[in-house]
Amino acid sequence: MILSGNSSTLYPMSIENLFSTVREHYVQQLLEFISEQQKLYKNGVSELKLQLGDESPLYNRVYCVDFLTGGEEQKVVELAPARTLSFDTITQRIGKADLFVHGMQWDAVRVQHDIACLKDGDIAEWFEKWFDLDDVLSNL
């Protein structure tokens, strides 16, 4: 079941539809945010992908900045979504694995597992698609 942040209607939803709904909800807020920032900072850049240093704990040491102001005193401005979606835990069996989705924010994914030895390439394809380093999916 999913509950919209500005609605009291609950309705059943598959995991695939949940992911799509959460993405659409986030993208709507991101587009509004980028529009506001571009009015304030004419030389700013949205969705700038950065390669981080070796000490970064982030996967592949890459990060996407929501907005960089531009100009002499550049600063990073991140979207802080005012609205989020709430839903009951969703469980789905995928092959031999049980998937539990307790909550989801499109801009912050945390994968927790009990696999003894997860190989680096096991999530690489998924990460490359959704992080979209080459901006192949840049059309929000």
Task: Give burial (CB, 10 Å; 0-12/13-18/19+) of 78.
Answer: exposed
Predicted confidence band of residue 2 (pLDDT cuts 50, 70, 90)? very low
- pLDDT of 122 > 80? The answer is no
**Considering the domain boundaries, does residue 23 fall inside one?**
yes
Q: What is the pLDDT of residues 21-43, one digit of tens each?
A: 888 888 999 999 999 999 999 99
- Most confident by average pLDDT, 2-11, 39-48, 86-95, 98-107: 39-48
pLDDT at position 13 is 66
pLDDT at position 100 is 80
**Considering the domain boundaries, does residue 140 fall inside one?**
no
DSSP string covering 41-66, please?
-TT-EEEEEEEPPTT--SGGGEEEEE
**Considering the domain boundaries, does residue 16 fall inside one?**
yes
Q: What contacts 140, CB < 8 A, 6 or more positions away?
A: 27, 30, 31
**Considering the domain boundaries, does residue 11 fall inside one?**
yes
**Considering the domain boundaries, does residue 25 fall inside one?**
yes
Q: What is the pLDDT of residues 31-80, one digit of tens each?
A: 999 999 999 999 999 999 999 999 998 888 899 999 999 888 899 999 99
**Considering the domain boundaries, does residue 24 fall inside one?**
yes
Mean confidence (pLDDT) of the chain: 79
**Considering the domain boundaries, does residue 136 fall inside one?**
no
State the average pLDDT over residues 132-140: 65
Q: What contacts 59, CB < 8 A, 6 or more positions away?
A: 123, 127
- Between the CA of residue 34 and those of 8, 22, 67, 80, 94, what are the distances in Å? 28, 18, 7, 12, 36
**Considering the domain boundaries, does residue 65 fall inside one?**
no
What is the tally of structural domains in the chain? 1
User: Which domain range does residue 22 map to?
Assistant: 2-42+83-131
